[in-house]
Amino acid sequence: MSQKIQPPKGTRDFYPADMAIQNHIFGAWRRVCARFGFQEYEGPSFEHLEMYTGKSGDEIVGQLYNFTDKGGRDIALRPEMTPTLARLANQLGRNLRKPARWFSLPRLWRYEKQQRGRLREFFQLNMDILGSDNVSADAELIAAACRICEELGLKSGDVVARISSRRLISTLLDELGCTDKPPVYLALDRREKLPREDFVKGLGEAGLTEDGIRRLDALFDAKSLAEVTDLVSSDDAKAALAELETLFQLLAAHGVADWCKFDPTVVRGLAYYTGVVYELFDAGRSLRAIAGGGRYDDLLSKMGGERMPAVGFGMGDVVIAELLKDKGLLPTGIPGPDLWLVSVDGDEIRQAAVAAKLRAAGKEVGFAFGGGKLGKQMQAAQENGAKRAVFVGSDRVAADQVEVKDLATGEQTVSTVEALCL
């Protein structure tokens, strides 16, 4: 006997109960996007490999699913949506209505080691604003990310948006004589995971002295914006700090101050961020980041377009689902039709006609095929998640009536098909 084929590692099958969870999360994503005035877009699932090499950063490039197609082109399955969004915007050029508030729910692929919250295929909500330099745009997105968590039933104590600024770190790195920033950002992003010697060695290779590393450490240990003020001296760094102060005032005005915290250790692993950066974590830090994003003002011009300020974040479906499961906030069971027809006399022609009438009126209707015992039909109603059973063909037929049973309460009433259509 041949073996049953298993799905590829790091992928998921979505049975109806899994789809119910997925739709629950996607529903919250879409509702909040609509409330914030965002419009949906999509792109292809695969792109030219060069879209990612050199722009997304070494970490993501090492995780690409890439291949050469039959025409000899180097292709990669998209590991993130941001380069695709940049390409779309560049194609529109001056025809892009700015600021554009766009969202997408792409399926993404990264060749990662499979672990809790990390898969090789996942979905990710992307919300981005293109064409605004204003820190209000950064605030808008952080507020939206918090409101999504709230929409899913989470509270401010469950999730923390940790916020910092690449611009602040960049200006400090300038002060410290750093010659190559992208590898430093990656090392800083992994600071907690890397052995200390490797971390120090990496920073040394990028031109930082021991004193410089001590000053970076001091920045990372700062608990508030006020503490950072004493650590930086350049006008650029002071401007970056002032921007963060305004951001926190805006977040308070958005009503999400309780969800947000200044955290200088947030750097982000991706290469293209230039300004405010943030990551949302579960408060207990038992999971990897729920979401991450920031400002990336240079990416569009690096991809051949005009300079276009941009901000955005990505929120994966895997980590948020884990957190909702831990908190008991996921829907259980499968969503079934409102009505389940139970044929009392086995007249399937009549049953199909009643179903057609109800469906034409927009009602959700299911029934068992081939009639059978009432008990079996009722069991099918339960198993299919129906809310009410409608008994068709009882002795009330002459009066064009049907009996209706609420499957949750057991309450039984008499109605007509016409009344059920309303």
Q: Is 80 in the site for ligand HAM (CB under 6 A)?
A: yes
Q: Please list the alpha-helical segments (H only) found in 206-333.
A: 210-221, 225-229, 235-253, 299-302, 317-326
The DSSP element (H or E) to which 340 belongs, if any, is strand 339-343
Q: Is 267 in the site for ligand HAM (CB under 6 A)?
A: no
The DSSP element (H or E) to which 305 belongs, if any, is none
User: How near is the Cβ of 57 to ligand HAM at its closest, in Å?
Assistant: 9
Output the furthest CA–CA distance in the chain (Å, rounded).
Answer: 93
Q: Is 110 in the site for ligand HAM (CB under 6 A)?
A: yes
Q: Is 30 in the site for ligand HAM (CB under 6 A)?
A: no
Q: Is 274 in the site for ligand HAM (CB under 6 A)?
A: no
Distance CA 274, CA 243 (A): 13
The one among 66, 84, 126, 171 contacting ligand HAM by CB under 6 A: 126
Q: Is 77 in the site for ligand HAM (CB under 6 A)?
A: no
Q: Is 312 in the site for ligand HAM (CB under 6 A)?
A: yes
**Please, which residues bridge with residue 340 across strands?**
366, 389
Q: Is 84 in the site for ligand HAM (CB under 6 A)?
A: no
Q: Please identify, among the stretches 115-123, 368-376, 389-397, 412-420, the one whose residues bind ligand HAM according to the rule CB under 6 A.
A: 115-123
The one among 29, 38, 52, 122 contacting ligand HAM by CB under 6 A: 122
Residue 278 or 367: the one with the smaller Cβ distance to ligand HAM is: 278
Q: Is 313 in the site for ligand HAM (CB under 6 A)?
A: yes
The DSSP element (H or E) to which 406 belongs, if any, is strand 401-406
The one among 143, 173, 186, 290 contacting ligand HAM by CB under 6 A: 290
Distance CA 119, CA 233 (A): 43
Q: Please identify, among the stretches 89-97, 306-314, 323-331, 382-390, the one whose residues bind ligand HAM according to the rule CB under 6 A.
A: 306-314
Distance CA 207, CA 181 (A): 10
Chain position carrying tokens 């380069």: 83
CB 67 within 8 A of CB 98: no
Q: How big is the chain, counted in residues?
A: 422
Residue numbers at the binding site for ligand HAM (CB under 6 A): 80, 82, 110, 112, 118-119, 122, 124, 126, 128, 270, 289-293, 296, 312-316, 318-319
